[in-house]
Amino acid sequence: MKKFLPDFSFPKGMELLHNPLLNKGTAFTADERKQLQLEGLLPPFVMTQEEQKIKVLASVRVQTTDLDKYIYLTSLQDRNEALFYRLVIDEIEEFMPIIYTPTVGQACQEYGHIFRRPRGLYISSNDKGSIKKILRNWPQKNVDVIVVTDGERILGLGDLGADGMGIPVGKLSLYTICAGIHPERTLPITIDVGTNNEELLQDPLYIGLRQKRDIGDQYDSLLDEFMDATAQIFPNVLVQFEDFANRNAQRLLAKYRNNYCTFNDDIQGTASVVLGGLLSAMCIIKSSLDKQRILFCGAGSAAIGIADILCREMIHCGVDKKIARKNLFLFDSSGLLTVDREDLSEANLKYAQQVDIETNFSAAVKKLKPTIVIGVSGVGGVFEEKMVRNMTQENDRPIIFALSNPTTKSECTAEQAYSWSEGRAIFASGSPFDTVRLKGKTYHPGQGNNAYVFPGVGLGIVASGATRVTDEMFRAAAHALADMMEYKNLEKGTLYPALPEIRNVSKRIALAVALEVYNSDLGSQPRPENLKQHIEEIMYSPHYESYV
């Protein structure tokens, strides 16, 4: 644990109370108040952290909207991180939807209007040539995980520019909540290259550059400088790319993955959590992936990432690559990806099929008769009633993944999937849905949230000192996730563990990833004699430390 203690000189008095990493508020003991120059700066009663939690829990619950709750929790995080994390970890089912999807989407849309206190670093087009200097301005010198966005494709909401900072802040909160990465060793970053969102450009409260987005060489050279500077200032740091547009996500991953410790969560994290869910679904229907016919609604970077990991899984099980790809069909805004189309990218071409062109998704479902549909389109409601009913006619247990975020962008709701399939659908979504009561039976929709995967992957990388991130690490993570499912929950149609189990899930994934790191000879640290114990020991727990 010592390596995670703050690495700056210990503050006193008001400086200490204004340091969210160290502040305990009214929980400072009498001895601490004397020795740390806090006498008179706090009311006299000394509270326990549990008493403080009861107080803030009551305060957040009286907020009338989810956005108000988000603002309250952000304020708490800004003044007392340990209490914030204690609250959210203990009440994760209540507050994860507030600090992340779906509420974070609205928070990003309102970010300039609710902006209180800066978190993380902003690096803009104006900073070219000075990025190393900016990184050195960050007060913590030991950083394990960076989440970076350029704000161009925030969830399913599109280009939010610098207001997208809510995403890396939220993702790094989940690293701490779900996997125990110490908050002091995380750094959210927004690369501000402008925005093409006219509403933001006209908004007097917008916090980013008032210009159209940089593209081409200007954009690439800024990202190159950022990656090079990051590796120099924070050696072996893990850089997670988040919410980059499709045209940049795949190519930047291919460009940097072999030279830096980096991954793209929208591509690899999404793929891993989907594979984990489908492995659980195969247990329910007592079948295997190579026997499925899978249709994607959406053909962007997330869809390609999922298709790639499904192919890799089938190949690992002995299926020929051509056969593995034969039953994967992708559908974009122009229709099915077919060999006759001339507008496909290199990544799309490998999944182009020898079938007739079809431009209506429900018609494509009727024609192809898939056993699984996976929605990564960002288009709310695209899974129509007739589509679900057609799937149900062809399959005893149709598997429906509506993964687009936030909830308004989900391809269908849990209630729609269950009611239109007469309760036979095996359903998962990206954002949370409540349980559904249908004809006297209760259904528990699974949430295929990337939070089940990326925090554990990050913990495994930090624990092993991995120098690179490979696709096999995400396949290992998917299997570890599926292995956590108990038969009693599978019987209910639930594909993912309960959220209160997520720290245990992350530990299991971290162990699987760290083993893959060492087996691939990618670890920069000697392998501990007891790797599981090592992982548990480095996990941050938000209990107050004694300072005297």
7 falls in which pLDDT band (50, 70, 90)?
A: very low
Give residue 346's pLDDT: 86
Q: What are phi and psi of 5, to 5 degrees?
A: -70, 150
Which residues share a beta bridge with 154? 158
Range(s) for CATH 3.40.50.10380 in the chain? Answer: 118-260
* β-pairing verdict for 436-438 and 121-124: unpaired
Q: What angle do CA 149, 248, 360 make, to 5 degrees?
A: 110
Region of poorest pLDDT, from 1-5, 47-51, 236-240, 483-487? 1-5
Across residues 151-163, what is the average pLDDT?
94
Question: First vs last Cα of the chain: how many Å apart?
Answer: 17
* β-pairing verdict for 238-241 and 145-149: parallel
**Is pLDDT of 156 > 90?**
no
Q: Are 262 and 238 in contact (CB under 8 A)?
A: yes
Q: Are 195 and 201 in contact (CB under 8 A)?
A: yes
Across residues 398-407, what is the average pLDDT?
94
Q: Are 164 and 243 in contact (CB under 8 A)?
A: yes
Across residues 73-94, what is the average pLDDT?
97
Q: What are phi and psi of 400, to 5 degrees?
A: -125, 115
Give residue 429's pLDDT: 96
Q: How far apart are CA 319 and CA 292, in angstroms?
A: 13
- The residue type found at 485 is M
**Is pLDDT of 3 > 70?**
no
Place of tokens 């960002």: 378
Helix pair 49-61, 66-79: axis angle to 10 deg:
150
Across residues 473-501, what is the average pLDDT?
92
Region of poorest pLDDT, from 15-19, 95-99, 113-117, 334-338? 113-117
2 falls in which pLDDT band (50, 70, 90)?
A: very low
pLDDT tens, position by position, 83-92: 999 999 999 9
**Is pLDDT of 66 > 50?**
yes
Give residue 489's pLDDT: 82
Across residues 262-278, what is the average pLDDT?
97
Q: How far apart are CA 319 and CA 311, in angstroms?
A: 9
Hey, what are 181's tokens? 């990465």
Residue 151 to residues 104, 121, 209, 513: CA-CA distances in angstroms?
Answer: 13, 14, 12, 29
Residue-averaged pLDDT of the chain: 95
Mapped onto helix, strand or coil, the DSSP state of residue 523 is strand
pTM summary value? 0.94
Hey, what are 64's tokens? 């009338």
Q: Which CATH superfamily groups domain 268-450?
A: NAD(P)-binding Rossmann-like Domain (3.40.50.720)
Across residues 221-228, what is the average pLDDT?
98
Q: How far apart are CA 287 and CA 293, in angstroms?
A: 12
In percent, how much of the chain has pLDDT > 90?
91
Range(s) for CATH 3.40.50.720 in the chain? Answer: 268-450
493 falls in which pLDDT band (50, 70, 90)?
A: confident
Across residues 214-239, what is the average pLDDT?
97
**Is pLDDT of 9 > 80?**
no
4 falls in which pLDDT band (50, 70, 90)?
A: very low
List, by residue number, the catalytic residues: 100, 171
**Is pLDDT of 386 > 50?**
yes
Helix or strand holding residue 294 (H, E) = strand 294-297
Domain 118-260, architecture per CATH: 3-Layer(aba) Sandwich (3.40)
Place of tokens 């598997």: 399
Q: How far apart are CA 506 and CA 497, in angstroms?
A: 11
Give residue 532's pLDDT: 97
Give residue 1's pLDDT: 37
Secondary structure tally for the chain: helices H, strands E: 25, 14
